[in-house]
Every structure is written in structure tokens, then in C-alpha cells.
């Protein structure tokens, strides 16, 4: 009898049943199985179990199933099937397709860096516009459906999205759906953006803005006390 | 009818090109040669004939497009079975998430139909269907399909060790079901 290699477990028996290589253990394992009646019986057990399933009659597939598949194809229906088996060699994609994910990742990283809140330590504080809060503010134009942020923004065509902590959540609010009730008094970082018929939201910079609210003719309005760019992408 | 384990005889480059183009006659020829064995495989993986038929139907609907990303001279049965396996497991995962699974029904399920007399092929399939999804998938993929534990682990999102443990449990459970048959 060959040296004792231990009783083979289910996995080893399955490998023997499949005729797979067991490496260095192959020869002693075969000798072991032949020597131990119980191990041999268990190996036969696995082999018979496998044979039961591989020799079992196949389930006939109906013509109706084929007809349904062909009908779906005729309707231009398509199914995306994942295949990754070792026997499948994926077709080489063009270079631009392989680089596309990289380009998208780089764009996202640049955008995230540019929009990251820096209100506490503004890296590019080029100018600060300050208004004297003791002076009664000049009444801004009331919000209209065309420019709902007219009361808020010193730039009529620019809009401020939510504070920087919220701007990463998409989809961003469009100008026409901007909720001015979410604006709060005090200094917060806002993203300056513009909108057009093609883009609901196009960030062009970030600003630390100090806002105060007041009531003008019974309507709550906002005024900008200070605004400091904290992004170098200011147009 | 060709043997289900054989690659279809019509595996010439021209025939493959027709299949890639979605020619109904090529799809029909491929279906007649392969659908039975793929349906059997899908039934073993999903445990339900209706789900298995959905899988096979999807495979033949999506086959031409899938073949466009496959570069081999002949249509490999192993590749087709791999395609079916992945789709069956993916679809079964979705279906299972939608269905309520009673807590504690991990190792054995109550068969929907009484197990057929021993020796009957239906008896074998029903014995398999009594296993939980976890055990049945590993048993089918390892013992019947011959995938390695690493490949099974990747397919099922488990570790190779877990796959080995599940295989032992499946064999033990099946042995008790098929005791006199094997």
C-alpha cells in the first residue's frame, strides 16, 4: 500500500470522478482509494450520482418556445447576455472605447475637486464684495417665473444651487424649480451655475455668500451681504 | 436530433455568421440542437420549469448579439452553457428577491410534488429540487457541469471555501434522498 494521504473529502472525490489532476497527490490518492473499501465506495457513490444526472434524459424544449423567441427578435427585442467563460474571447474594443471610462472618471474627479467646499479656507479669495448691513437694502426685483432667483442673485442670469454639501446629489434643481425656501441666513458656500434650454444646471464656480433676509411689502426677500469666490473657475 | 453535448454540426464560419446576423433559420437550427440540454440545465439551476423556459427564450433572443462579442471558429457548447448558466443565475437571483423565502428553510425545501418512484429520472430531478438554491447551484455547477470552485465562487459571489462546504452538504442531502438509487 502506498503512503497514507488521508481520506479524500467530497471535493477530492469529485475531482477524481471528473478525472481532474490532483497534482502530487494523484498517485497516492488513487492507491489510497483502491486500498480503502469505504473510500472506494464513496468515490463510486459520487460517480454514480454524477452519472445519474448526466445520463438523465434531457427536457424537450417546445416549438412554442422557439416561436416566442423568434417573435421577440422580429419585434426588435434584444437581451443583453453576460458571458465571461474562459472559452469566450471578447472582441477587442476600439481604443477610444477602452479610454472612455478613464476619461469619465477624470472628468468626475476634476468636477468634484472644483466643487469641493472651501468656505473655511478659501484658496482663491480674489475679491470680497461687502455691503453695509446697516443700510436698508435696495429693494430687489420681485421673483418672476422667468427669473425666480432675481431676489437672490446679483447676476440675473446666474443661479445658486443648494449649499455645497448638497450639490453632489443629482439631479440638480433646475432654475425654474429652485426652492428659495431652502436658502438660509448666514454664510454658506453656494455653487454658481447657469442654465439654458440644453442644460438645467451648469456649475461655473463656488462662492461663500452671506445672506440676510428681510421683509419687503409683506414678502420675504433675501439680500447678499458679502460674496467671496472660493473657486478659480469664476467666469 | 444531434446529441445535446455535441457542438451543432452546422458550426461552419458561414453558419456562425448567419447566427450572428440573427437569421431565423440559423437560430432555429441552433435551438433544435441545443435548447433541450440548455433547458435541462436552466431547470436544475432555477428549480422551476417556467423560469427555465424564460431563461432559454432569453438566451436565444440575445444569442446573435452575444455571439458578436465571441470570437471562435465554431459555436462551443461549453460557451453556450456558460451563457445559460450566467443568465439563469442572474434571473433566479431577481426572481428570488421578489419572492418571499420563509426564514429557516435553508437546507431543504418541501418538494412541490411527491418524489417519483425510485429509478425514475423524474425522481432524480425532484431529489435535486429538494435542495435549497444555495446547495443546488453548487452541486449542479461542480458535479454536473464540472466548474472549479473558484469559478463557482466568482459566479455565485461566494468564497471557494463556502462553495466546498455547500458541495459537501449537497452531496450529503442528495445521498439521503437517492440512497437506494445510487
Lowest mean pLDDT among A5-19, B109-123, B130-144: B109-123
Is A79 part of the contact surface with chain B (CB cutoff 8 Å)?
yes
- pLDDT of amino acid B17: 86
Of A65, A69, A87, the CB nearest to B76: A87
Banded pLDDT at B56 (limits 50, 70, 90): very high
Residue of B nearest to A65 (CA): B57
Q: Which of A:29-48 have CB within 8 Å of B? A: 45-46, 48
Q: What is the mean pLDDT of chain A?
A: 62
What's the whole-number mean pLDDT along residues A48-67? Answer: 87
- pLDDT of amino acid B14: 83
Q: Is the dihedral of CA A114, A117, A122, A123 positive or negative?
A: negative
Among B87, B171, B172, B178, which would you mutate to test the A interface (most chain A Cβ atoms within 10 Å of its Cβ)?
Answer: B171
Model-wide pTM > 0.90: no
User: B28 vs A85: CB contact, 8 Å cut-off?
Assistant: no
Residue of A nearest to B1 (CA): A60
- pLDDT of amino acid A86: 37
Closest among B66, B62, B46 to B128, alpha carbons compared: B46
- pLDDT of amino acid A214: 74
Residue of B nearest to A41 (CA): B182
User: B182 vs A45: CB contact, 8 Å cut-off?
Assistant: yes
- pLDDT of amino acid B141: 92
- pLDDT of amino acid B30: 92
Q: Is the pLDDT of residue B162 over 80?
A: yes
Is A108 part of the contact surface with chain B (CB cutoff 8 Å)?
no
- pLDDT of amino acid A1: 43
Is A71 part of the contact surface with chain B (CB cutoff 8 Å)?
no
Q: Is the pLDDT of residue B57 over 90?
A: yes
Is the model more confident about A159 or about B173?
B173
Banded pLDDT at B27 (limits 50, 70, 90): very high
Q: Is the pLDDT of residue B78 over 50?
A: yes
Contacts of B174 in chain A (CB under 8 A): 49
Q: Is the pLDDT of residue B64 over 70?
A: yes
- pLDDT of amino acid B23: 92
Grid cell 481604443 in the structure block, residue: A95
- Answer whether A39's CB lies under 8 Å from A14's CB: no
Among A85, A90, A92, A97, which would you mutate to test the B interface (most chain B Cβ atoms within 10 Å of its Cβ)?
Answer: A85
Banded pLDDT at A157 (limits 50, 70, 90): very low
User: Between chain A and chain B, how many beta carbons pairs sit less than 8 Å apart?
Assistant: 147
Residue of B nearest to A72 (CA): B61
Is A81 part of the contact surface with chain B (CB cutoff 8 Å)?
yes
What ipTM does the predicted assembly reach? 0.79
Is the model more confident about A232 or about B151?
B151
pLDDT in tens, A59-102: 888 999 999 999 999 888 878 887 654 333 333 444 555 667 77
B157: alpha, beta or left? (left if phi > 0; alpha if psi -120 to 50): left
Banded pLDDT at B11 (limits 50, 70, 90): low
- pLDDT of amino acid A102: 74
Is the model more confident about B76 or about B164?
B164
Grid cell 440638480 in the structure block, residue: A172
- pLDDT of amino acid A13: 74
Contacts of A87 in chain B (CB under 8 A): 72, 76, 78-79, 82
- Answer whether B40's CB lies under 8 Å from A58's CB: yes
Give the angle subtended at the CA of A116 by the CAs of A115 and A118, to the nearest 5°. 115
Is the model more confident about B34 or about A136?
B34
- pLDDT of amino acid A70: 93
User: What's the CA gap between A160 and A206, in Å, rounded?
Assistant: 9
Contacts of B31 in chain A (CB under 8 A): 61, 66, 69
What's the whole-number mean pLDDT along residues A128-134? Answer: 41
What's the whole-number mean pLDDT along residues B158-176? Answer: 89
Give the angle subtended at the CA of A63 by the CAs of A57 and A69, to the nearest 5°. 110
Q: Please compute Rg for chain A using Cα positions.
A: 35
- pLDDT of amino acid A83: 62
The β-bridge relationship of strands A158-163 and A202-216 is unpaired
Q: How far is A29 from chain B (nearest CA, A)?
A: 19
pLDDT in tens, A167-208: 444 444 434 344 556 666 777 766 655 554 455 455 556 667
What's the whole-number mean pLDDT along residues A40-69? Answer: 85
- pLDDT of amino acid A212: 75
Looking at chain B, the number of H-run helices and the number of E-run strands are 8, 0
Amino acid at each position: 500500500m502506498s503512503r497514507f494521504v488521508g481520506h479524500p473529502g467530497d471535493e477530492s472525490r469529485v475531482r477524481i470522478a471528473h478525472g481532474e489532476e490532483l497534482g502530487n497527490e494523484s498517485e497516492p490518492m488513487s492507491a489510497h482509494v483502491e486500498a480503502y473499501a469505504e473510500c472506494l465506495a464513496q468515490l463510486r457513490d459520487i460517480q454514480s450520482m454524477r452519472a445519474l444526472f448526466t445520463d438523465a434524459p434531457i427536457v424537450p424544449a417546445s416549438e412554442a418556445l422557439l416561436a416566442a423567441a423568434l417573435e421577440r427578435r422580429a419585434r426588435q427585442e434584444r437581451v443583453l447576455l453576460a458571458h465571461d467563460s474562459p472559452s469566450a474571447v471578447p472582441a477587442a474594443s476600439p481604443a477610444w472605447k477602452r479610454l472612455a471610462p478613464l476619461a469619465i472618471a477624470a472628468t468626475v474627479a476634476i468636477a468634484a475637486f472644483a466643487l469641493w467646499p472651501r468656505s473655511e479656507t478659501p484658496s482663491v479669495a480674489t475679491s470680497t464684495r461687502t455691503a453695509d448691513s446697516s443700510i436698508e437694502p435696495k429693494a430687489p426685483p420681485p421673483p418672476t417665473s422667468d427669473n425666480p432667483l432675481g431676489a437672490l442673485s446679483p447676476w440675473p442670469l446666474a443661479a445658486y444651487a443648494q449649499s455645497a454639501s448638497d450639490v453632489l446629489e443629482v439631479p440638480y434643481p433646475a432654475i425654474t424649480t429652485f426652492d428659495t425656501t431652502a436658502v438660509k441666513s448666514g454664510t454658506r458656500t453656494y455653487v454658481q451655475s447657469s442654465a439654458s434650454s440644453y442644460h438645467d444646471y451648469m456649475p461655473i464656480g463656488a462662492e461663500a455668500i452671506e445672506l440676510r433676509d428681510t421683509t419687503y411689502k409683506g414678502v420675504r426677500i433675501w439680500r447678499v451681504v458679502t460674496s467671496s469666490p472660493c473657486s478659480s473657475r469664476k467666469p | 436530433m444531434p446529441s445535446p453535448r455535441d457542438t451543432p454540426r452546422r458550426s461552419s464560419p458561414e453558419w456562425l455568421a448567419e447566427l450572428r446576423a440573427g437569421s431565423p433559420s440559423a437560430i432555429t437550427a441552433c435551438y433544435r440542437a441545443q435548447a433541450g440540454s440548455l433547458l435541462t440545465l436552466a431547470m436544475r439551476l432555477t428549480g422551476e420549469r417556467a423560469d427555465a423556459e424564460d431563461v432559454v427564450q432569453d438566451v436565444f433572443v440575445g444569442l446573435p448579439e452575444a455571439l458578436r462579442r465571441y470570437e471562435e471558429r465554431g459555436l462551443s457548447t461549453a460557451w453556450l452553457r456558460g451563457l445559460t448558466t450566467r443568465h439563469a443565475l442572474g434571473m433566479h437571483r431577481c426572481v428570488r428577491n421578489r419572492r418571499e423565502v420563509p426564514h429557516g428553510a435553508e437546507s431543504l425545501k418541501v418538494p412541490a410534488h411527491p418524489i417519483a418512484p425510485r429509478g425514475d429520472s423524474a425522481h432524480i430531478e425532484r431529489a435535486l429540487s429538494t435542495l435549497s438554491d444555495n446547495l443546488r447551484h453548487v452541486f449542479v455547477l461542480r458535479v454536473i457541469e464540472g466548474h472549479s470552485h473558484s469559478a463557482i465562487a466568482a459566479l455565485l459571489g461566494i468564497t471557494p471555501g463556502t462553495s466546498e462546504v455547500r458541495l459537501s452538504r449537497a452531496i450529503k442531502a442528495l445521498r439521503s434522498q437517492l440512497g437506494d438509487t445510487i
